[in-house]
Amino acid sequence: MTKPLTILAFAGAILWTGIASADDDCFVPMTDWQPREAVTQLANEQGWTVRRIKIHDGCYEIIGQDAQGRSIEATVHPATLDVLELEYKGEGGNRTRGKDGHDD
């Protein structure tokens, strides 16, 4: 009787961990976050015009335009400032680029 309960408890713990971690794409303590000014600087270095910087799923999200004037949404890791995802909006649909730089 003890073995099935142990297995069930272990499976439940694994399931709960997966559900809890699915909420945030970037799980980083706030003390390790780079300031918004650094995010703005990153955007400027990329040639982006920033309309808004917000926090979404534990990551910074930059909403604005790229150097060619296309609407973008960029997901940025809050501690490393790595661009995790770059999404182009409009012009016949959405195009997404992952952090490897290739279209998804």
Is there a contact between 83 and 72 (Cβ–Cβ < 8 Å)? no
Looking at residue 20, its pLDDT comes to 45
Looking at residue 90, its pLDDT comes to 77
pLDDT in tens for each of the 104 residues of the chain?
Answer: 566 655 555 655 555 444 444 456 899 999 999 999 999 999 999 999 999 999 999 999 999 999 999 999 999 999 999 999 999 987 655 556 665 555 55
Angstrom distance (rounded) from CA 94 to CA 96: 6
